[in-house]
Structure 1
Amino acid sequence: MLLFASTVWGALENNEGELIKKHLVVGLIDTAFDDISQNDAEAAFKIYVRTVGATYGYDVDIDVFYFADEEEFTSLQEKQKPDVVFFEIWNWIGLADDSYLEPLLVTFDEGKVGERYLLVSKKFEDNSDISLLKGSSVNVFSGPNSRLAGRWLDSLIYSKFNRGMDQFFSVVSENNDPIQVILPVFFGKKDLAVIPENKFDLMAELNPQMNKLSRLASSELFVPGVICMKKEGWESEHFHQVLIKGMQEMHLQPAGRQMMTLFKMSQLVPFKPEYLDTVRELKSALNRVNKS
């Protein structure tokens, strides 16, 4: 149940008319900060949550901890007991025990849930046989909260040639700046690029010459990250629902939009289990390769 009836949203106060104090523990995966300041992102998040809390009668004190992967999160979980956790989707799927948390929200951008990745080139024509790309140089986008571009390319190469991209291509470079990923390909300094479709389309809108690049392959839609909350143990269910409502409406508030800009999100929408299907299939494919 994500939202109460509208009557629940009146501001609460204690008997002295003061805001009710609440403590919130938040876990953030390190990969959310590849090209942004942790301090800036943490400050933006705290400002937004405190603003939302105050609107509904709460004085929210927030502690934040960081983790590198699902193994480190598991080791910290019992000590930290987080209320809210931002996961890269790959790590969420890999979590051995998710009984403590439930996935609630995912990113929504350009009218869809998830990102599609493109393999583009100036050197090769549209839909060229992938075997012709052997020995080429490739730039791979590796942005905040996601390593899915490289994993998709790795799976694509393995599925056709039984070898990884590092063995198939002459040079594999990663960059978290989409401009630095695509421009070397546009100017002929690199042969290929893997880039999110929405970022490529935006650059092509600003510079139509980008449309001269060939599209050699495209991925399924992959959800890059998920926001989870603890399933139970909330001292106040009203406060719990205020947090969910605040997250869902983040794009409507100035402080929320500032945070979403830092995290490169546009909107959050309720999670559905089927959103994980394509990433699960990708992870399973790479697991089969690693076991062979």
Structure 2
Amino acid sequence: MINLLLLILLTCLLTASPDLSATEKPSPIKLGGTIGALNDRSITDAEIAFQVIFNELLAEANESFSLKIYKDQNLLFDRFRRGELQGILTGSLHFIELDSLIHDSARYSVQFGDKLKQNYLLLVRHDDNLTSLRQLKEKTLSMGASHQVGKLFLDVELLQQQLPLSDQFFKEIHIVKGDNTSIIDLYFGKVDAAVVPKFTFETSQTLNPQIKNKIEVLASSEPMIHQAVGLRHDFPQHRIDNFEPHILTDQPSKRLINVFETFGIERIHRVTEESFKEVKSLQNRYNKLNGLSQ
């Protein structure tokens, strides 16, 4: 769900109103996102739904946009680099790699749960009596397709205990679209472990209190930003100045409140390069443990 919500944020940000007359309406702003943003929805349904809903919602803003979801993330990144796309939604690791192309005033992330930065959790079933990561050797794991940071966290945990990387350590890794699928599969014994964000685990316990009794945390990362939204460095500053009071306000419009409540968003934050220090630190630890150059 997190990717889908960040896609909504990106849509809201880029369809904000510049000060133009109806006769000066610009061409649609091109947005790109990863297929992980769909969370079990079809590409066609997502593209049509978002374009219809938000173009209608913001018609008076004299802006419009086109949205494309990419199955091939390398193609998405390449088109963003070439300036064929003005905005991008991606995981923190890729976002850091693209940082030189991101506008200094246009880095954003969404808060789910009680904090912006959330832990990644390695979950196991309580009845399996697992007390160490080593006991998961040749077991099965489930994790979301979009969680590169979660996989990095798991690999660092393994390397610190002088164990193989996750691709060699686990018998199978099931890559799923939604985090809830990972928790459900663990709950019903389809896999032996799962990696999910903390807020997803907390939400699942609220919806099904039995999960708290059956699933427990074996390891946890430090809190960090999982995914981010960014606009290109050449995106006009006056548009950023125009939409931010509406997006980052403590008193959002009724329509924006409805969107937030529907999709579980607490609030939107502008973030900086410093906001990704935990992710960078995790990457550096991985490189050091795996004998890679910094």
- State the TM-score bracket (shorter-chain normalisation): 0.7 to 0.9
Distance in 2, Cα, partners of 1:260 & 1:284: 37
Partner of 1:220: 222
Residue correspondences, number: 270
Q: 1:253–1:176: structure 2 CA closer, same or farther, 3 Å change rule?
A: farther
Is residue 48 from structure 1 mapped to residue 54 from structure 2 by the alignment?
yes
**Which residue is 1:3 aligned to?**
none
Q: Distance in 2 between matches of 1:173 and 1:251?
A: 39
Q: 1:222/1:20 Cα in 2 relative to 1: closer, same or farther (>3 Å)?
A: same
Assess, with a 3 A threshold, how the Cα gap between structure 1 residues 176 and 75 changes in structure 2: closer, same or farther: closer
Q: Please identify, of 192-201 and 280-289, the stretch whose mean Cα deviation from structure 2 is larger.
A: 280-289
1:85 to 69, 85, 88: 88
Q: Structure 1, residues 219-240: CA drift from partner, whole Å, max 9, x if none? A: 1223122222234462x82x33
1:33 correspondence with 2:38: yes
Residue 106 (structure 1) shift:
0.7
In structure 2, distance between residues paired with 1:33 and 1:85: 14
TM-score by length of 2: 0.74
Q: 1:218 to 1:35 in 2, by over 3 A?
A: same
Query: What does 1:200-219 align with in structure 2 at a 5 Å threshold?
Result: 200-212=201-213, 213-219=215-221
Which residues in structure 2 correspond to 1:106-185 (within 5 Å)? 106-122=109-125, 123-125=127-129, 128-140=131-143, 142=144, 145-185=146-186
Q: RMSD in angstroms over aligned alpha carbons?
A: 3.5
- Structure 1 unmatched ranges of 5 or more: 1-8
SS of structure 2 residue aligned to 1:132: helix
Letter paired with 2:220: S
SS of structure 2 residue aligned to 1:244: helix
What's the offset of the Cα at 1:34?
4.8
Q: AA paired with 2:156?
A: S
Does the 8 Å contact 2:121/2:218 carry over to 1? yes
- Any unmatched runs of 5+ in structure 2? 1-15
Distance 2:59 2:233 in 1: 20
After TM superposition, give the deviation of residue 53 of structure 1 in Å: 6.1
Shift of 1:69: 4.0
8 A Cα contact 1:125 1:216, kept in partner: no
Distance 1:260 1:284, change over 3 A: farther
| Amino acid aligned to 1:224 | H
Distance 1:19 1:259 in 2: 32
Instruction: Name the CA shift for 1:79/1:28 in 2 (closer, same or farther; >3 Å).
Output: closer
Higher Rg of the two aligned structures: 1
Distance 1:43 1:59 in 2: 19
Percent identity of the aligned residues?
Answer: 19
